[in-house]
């Protein structure tokens, strides 16, 4: 219902269970592109399974533990970004993302990421947002860098996917490193 315009013809909206048909159609276009890089439970094959994913995120959102956002370009769902973990008590969150191939290379994820970081630091007063990716996921690491994150560590063989234990990078940005660093809190609320 509510949408945030990101660029000409591009809108961010909360991704909800009633988007299951669109989400499943998008996964048809994205599945093999994202499979090497995202958790296997996200890469579903049917509308029912896509619906179950969105229900899972809706339940976590209701508990303020996650926040999935879809990206619509020319009214087509082409990808998304989410707080896969969100802990307002501890002040931490983890941001993740994906796109179908045709949507790559236009800055959609970087734009969505800036919007979500502003929300996390500005409105929700979080302290730290993390980014985790396979160490050889060059495009994902480039987004983290563009968002102003610091590469903090590479965890050796820490992520099992497709039968292989991949090295995993951790990137993060702290509130004082964000563009909200010098803005008094009362001006953000």
Ligand X SMILES: CC(C)(COP(=O)(O)OP(=O)(O)OC[C@H]1O[C@@H](n2cnc3c(N)ncnc32)[C@H](O)[C@@H]1OP(=O)(O)O)[C@@H](O)C(=O)NCCC(=O)NCCS
For ligand X, the binding residues (CB under 6 A) are 33-34, 37-38, 96-99, 104-110, 133, 137, 139-140, 142-143
CB of 123 to ligand X, least distance (A): 22
- The smaller minimum CB distance to ligand X, of residues 139 and 179, is found at 139
- The smaller minimum CB distance to ligand X, of residues 110 and 125, is found at 110
Cα–Cα separations (whole angstroms), residue 109 to 38, 82, 159: 15, 11, 23
Rounded-to-integer distance, Cα 179 and Cα 189, Å: 15
- The smaller minimum CB distance to ligand X, of residues 107 and 148, is found at 107
Largest CA distance in the chain: 49
Token pair 């956002």: residue: 69
CB of 122 to ligand X, least distance (A): 20
- The smaller minimum CB distance to ligand X, of residues 155 and 188, is found at 155
Q: In this chain, which residue has its C-beta nearest to ligand X?
A: 107
CB of 105 to ligand X, least distance (A): 4
CB atoms within 10 A of CB 158: 16
Rounded-to-integer distance, Cα 189 and Cα 185, Å: 7
**Dihedrals φ, ψ of 186, to 5°?**
-65, -20
CB of 86 to ligand X, least distance (A): 17
């Amino acid at each position: 219902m509510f949408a945030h315009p990101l660029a000409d013809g591009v809108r961010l909206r909360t991704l909800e269970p009633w988007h299951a048909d669109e989400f499943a159609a998008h996964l048809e276009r994205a599945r093999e592109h994202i499979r090497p890089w995202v958790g296997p439970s996200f890469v579903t094959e049917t509308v029912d399974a896509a619906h179950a994913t969105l229900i899972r995120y809706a339940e976590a959102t209701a508990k303020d533990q996650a926040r999935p956002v879809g990206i619509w370009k020319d009214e087509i769902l082409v990808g998304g970004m989410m707080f896969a973990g969100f802990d307002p008590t501890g002040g931490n969150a983890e941001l993740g993302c994906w796109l179908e191939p045709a949507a790559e290379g236009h800055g959609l994820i970087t734009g969505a990421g800036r919007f979500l970081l502003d929300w996390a630091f500005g409105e929700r007063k979080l302290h730290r947002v993390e980014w985790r990716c396979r160490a050889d996921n060059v495009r994902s690491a480039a987004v983290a860098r563009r968002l102003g994150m610091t590469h903090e560590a590479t965890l050796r063989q820490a992520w099992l996917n497709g039968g292989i234990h991949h090295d995993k990078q951790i990137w993060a940005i702290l509130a004082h490193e964000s563009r909200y660093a010098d803005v008094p809190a009362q001006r953000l609320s």
